[in-house]
Structure 1
Amino acid sequence: MYTPIENYAFIDGNNLRLTFQELKIDLPLDKLISYLQKRHNVTKAYYFIGHIPALQHHYDELSAFGYTMKHRQPSRQASKWDTCPQCGHYYEAQKRKLKCDCDADIVLQVMDDINDYTKAIIISSDGDFDNLVKRLIASDKLDMVIAPCKKGCSALLVKAARGRIAFLDELLDEIKKF
């Protein structure tokens, strides 16, 4: 009896956005989901990202493309404080930045849905996912890891993926065809 392939993609949206922002390359997210659907049989693509109200139009656009949005409230990173050498008072040398770490949310979603998908695709370059990737391989549930860029990809993640890894910056021309 034929069982349809229903792969799920779990996208570390913060990692993806920051990488392509640093590369100064536009990643067409509408083409990415089409690529995942047609090339990797993805039926659900979770997109994990911090929720900033001013970017709601961007989240709506991603939803319209077909991504299942998963938001986390951002928190402020601690500011860097320094002492004024002239008067001795403390001042905020580096403003606090918003940070949104969705790693635990991604791992929980992967494990919660493990019986619902055929294989998982993890899109991140974060080494924190090395044990998740090992677990997915051991249970024959990993299709592949797709890291945003080879240059910044964690060696732990590359090792854990055991050759089941590709890099979005190298796939960009192919993705743009979808």
Structure 2
Amino acid sequence: MILILLPLISFLHVSFCNGWPTSTETQTTTIRPDEAVITTGGDVLGHNLTFPEGNVTEYLGIPFAYPPYGAGRFLPPTPIDKQAWNGTWHCTTKANSCMQLLINDTFDGYNYSNPRKNISEDCLQLNMWVPVKNNGTTVVFLFGDSFLYGSPSLDLNNGSELALKSGAIIVNLNYR
């Protein structure tokens, strides 16, 4: 009996966990400058994603620490604690991916976590999705991949759907 139930339970678990339909039709609109968010580094301006089920504000590529160049390469990151940029940071480009060895293989299971572009030492950035109807919860997602490869900016780490469906603010960030 247990041998019959185990595959059934596994099937149901996978079915329900992957059961949210994806919102394939989205529309992107810009946010008015007076709606910029004030941070310690300066003002940031995202853009709205409109789904059939609701709206999510997307902020891409917000720096949270200074780039680790030169002697700072092997030291802990230096957080941005003062005005780091002039004017408003337009958060329309995904966070850079940190430097890494790219593994290209004939098996797509390896290649799905390879960033295809925007690889840089200036990678201490985050992406954030804020649903219009949020419940006050914030989820900070640190992607896996064993400190070897991956990026918060890969399509598989896009948090817009999760923010929309859960009502939580979703943040994913780079680490090195």
TM-score (norm 2): 0.22
Give the number of the structure whose residues are more often helix, by fraction: 1
TM-score (norm 1): 0.22
